[in-house]
Structure 1
Amino acid sequence: MSQNEKEGINVFSLFDGISCARLALEKAGIKINKYYSSEIDKSALKIQEHHYGSDPKFIQLGDVRNIKGLDLADEIDLVVMGSPCTNLSSINPIDRRGLEGSESKLFYEAIRIIKEIFIFQPYHKKLYFLMENVASMKAVDRDKITEELSNIFEDEVQLLKIDSALLAPAHRRRLYWTNIPNVSVPEPVGLNYADILENGYVDRDKANVLLSGNVTLTNGLLRHFKMSIGNIIYKDKDFAELSTEEKLLRYPQILANSGYQGKARDIKNDLDFPNGCYRHPTIREYSRMMTIPDNYVDGVSGVSKTEKQKTLGLAFTVDVVAHLFQGLK
């Protein structure tokens, strides 16, 4: 092994999505020798291919269920994962079976792989890990995750709860389990929703958590306020400054005057306000909510806006993870 290789690390990112773990490591100044990725979502894979398809040090391994940790034990220094939150999140009103749910149970596949890497790694190696998942999970699932990780890493497991709004312009409350040394909750930097807009106005300091979908451009305003979901940007400053009640009172007439009936063909530009009142964020603005570079997702062809938003909604907040990776230095 060369001296240059000794200075870097080999990384395995499970449920890798659009490889935000790699972006975070780069932002933290951590040199990557090899980056192993496990992902099966077609849109996420297209975004990965766009950026790393010609990089021989980026190795896509596919489905976690087909991966044997023993095959990687000699190499891996850091395991990163954000296992599926589908059955853990409070946003899911239908199936909250937690870690026993059809998708969230893949956590146990990740645990299997980590155990295999840990058990068969050379005695002189140190294996670090970082896991992220929703803070809204039930306590029984949170405690089970902590127990499973502690069975491997013993008393090294630390658990932090961090709202991405400390470092990003959007809320994203997440739990982070890790054995990286000297991790801490970051100090706020004061980046607000209004700071990332391409045009228009907003009525709050921080955007709502970014989900894989958004409220509609017809009757979405009521759902936005009633359920506190989705993110919208207003055309007029005066309207943005109205009370919620006044917004809901005035909006139906504005919508009627616009003639917009919810047809995608009527939206000519992502920065237009087709209903005369508000628009969705652009992919660039969604990326900024996650502290992801503007063109990292937006500049990829062959992936629809809907799919791009979905991949961003499932991503890490890069600056938060980069903050936690600082301990690797």
Structure 2
Amino acid sequence: MINEKTEGINILSLFDGISCAKLALERAGIKINKYYCSEIDKSALAIQKHHYGKDKNFIQLGDVKDINGIELSDEIDLVVFGSPCTNLSSINPIDRRGLEGEESKLFYEALRILTEIRVSKPASKKLYFLMENVASMKAVDRDKITEELSKIFYDAQLLKIDSALITPAHRRRLYWTNIPNVSVPDATDVTFSDILENGFVDRDKANVLLSGNVTLTNGIFRHFKMNIGNIIYKDESFAKLPKEEKLLRYPAILEASGYIGKSGSNPEELDFPNGCYRHPSIKEYSRLMTVPDLYVDGVPKISKTDKLKVLGLAFSVNVVAHLFKGLRQ
């Protein structure tokens, strides 16, 4: 294991997004020497640059396809990645080709890099890894990932964790790792209501954060029909109504508000323009993912839509930090 007080570790984070792996390591008390990462999304890169642009030990490598694991093998102690879930997730009704899908097949790029680092590293030096992906993937894809990782790491193991155990939102994920002494975290009592800036909710835990949300016009129907998206109600009495009653009353509330969607309206984040509900603010979205309030919200020149997108693709920081604690001596 790593003695983080004296040694620290070098990280390679693939599909790094907004660098939640770095946040999680810091939250777990693990000293970082160098943080190598791979990302191509412009909004995620802007957030990285805002926080780490002057940090010489934060090294952005660009496209995962261009990374040569052999060249990095002497440096890297831990590889972290959550390869694209687009073709794996049950939320995608159009293309669920799994690991053969155009985006989710990038898992094999991560596998290539892991293999290159592992075979080039001296046998005496341990290589750790952590992979995260959706729990709703098909069993055939889950088993294929497990098989491929076990070829590289004899001590690979698989855990299924719903982030709602220790965060305000559901996020059911599979974690493959060889970090020692990992476990499913004990439940805490943090709730959706705890992180609100105003308004009321009708559930203890928020739905899984996606890269988009339901609309402010008729999104309440999709929210309940498909159990997706997150909304916050203006009135506590409305929030307490049964689902069927909410759906009956909402059309009249919407009509009375005069709200008609994107026709020039630009409501403030904490307003209720349709007279009934609003979306979470970026601060609230961040809190659902246990990301610091201003880590995303405080970065200028990025739209709310793009900020939500990068948060929807991020790690639940507290869950990953819990797993990283196994690295400490």
Q: What TM-score does the superposition give when structure 1 sets the normalisation length?
A: 0.98
1:10 match: secondary structure? strand
The code of the aligned residue for 1:193 comes to F
The code of the aligned residue for 1:76 comes to I
Query: Which residue does the alignment assign to 2:281?
Result: 282
Matched, 1:133 2:111: no
Tell me, in whole angstroms, the C-alpha distance in 1 between the residues paired with 2:206 and 2:265: 26
The runs of at least 4 aligned residues of structure 1 exceeding 6 Å deviation read none
Matched, 1:249 2:248: yes
The Cα of 1:185 is off from its aligned counterpart by 0.2
The Cα of 1:5 is off from its aligned counterpart by 9.0
1:266 match: secondary structure? coil
Aligned runs of 1:19-58 on 2, under 5 Å?
19-58=19-58
**Contact 2:4-2:30 at 8 Å conserved across structures:** no
Query: Which residue does the alignment assign to 1:191?
Result: 190
**Contact 1:73-1:121 at 8 Å conserved across structures:** yes
Query: Which residue does the alignment assign to 1:92?
Result: 92
The Cα of 1:103 is off from its aligned counterpart by 0.3
**Contact 1:255-1:277 at 8 Å conserved across structures:** yes
The Cα of 1:200 is off from its aligned counterpart by 0.1
The Cα of 1:213 is off from its aligned counterpart by 0.4
Please list every run of 5 or more consecutive structure 2 residues that lacks an aligned counterpart in the other structure. none
The code of the aligned residue for 1:25 comes to L
Query: Which residue does the alignment assign to 1:83?
Result: 83
**Contact 1:5-1:33 at 8 Å conserved across structures:** no
Query: Which residue does the alignment assign to 1:115?
Result: 115
Q: Which digits, 9 at most, give the CA deviation of each residue in 1:217-257, with x for residues without a partner?
A: 00101100000000000000000000001100000000000
Aligned runs of 1:154-193 on 2, under 5 Å?
154=154, 156-193=155-192
Tell me, in whole angstroms, the C-alpha distance in 2 between the residues paired with 1:148 and 1:8: 28
Matched pairs, number: 326
Query: Which residue does the alignment assign to 1:315?
Result: 314
CA distance change for structure 1 residues 246 and 4 in 2, over 3 Å: closer, same or farther? closer
Percent identity of equivalent pairs: 75
Tell me, in whole angstroms, the C-alpha distance in 2 between the residues paired with 1:125 and 1:253: 66
Tell me, in whole angstroms, the C-alpha distance in 1 between the residues paired with 2:116 and 2:262: 51
The Cα of 1:36 is off from its aligned counterpart by 0.2
Query: Which residue does the alignment assign to 2:301?
Result: 302
Tell me, in whole angstroms, the C-alpha distance in 2 between the residues paired with 1:322 and 1:265: 42
Q: Which digits, 9 at most, give the CA deviation of each residue in 1:257-297, with x for residues without a partner?
A: 00000026423310000000000000000000000000000
The code of the aligned residue for 1:117 comes to I
Q: Which digits, 9 at most, give the CA deviation of each residue in 1:97-136, with x for residues without a partner?
A: 0000000000000000000000001232100000000000
CA distance change for structure 1 residues 263 and 68 in 2, over 3 Å: closer, same or farther? same
The Cα of 1:19 is off from its aligned counterpart by 0.2
Tell me, in whole angstroms, the C-alpha distance in 2 between the residues paired with 1:92 and 1:17: 20
Q: What TM-score does the superposition give when structure 2 sets the normalisation length?
A: 0.98
1:12 match: secondary structure? strand
Query: Which residue does the alignment assign to 2:101?
Result: 101
Query: Which residue does the alignment assign to 1:271?
Result: 270
Tell me, in whole angstroms, the C-alpha distance in 2 between the residues paired with 1:248 and 1:44: 37
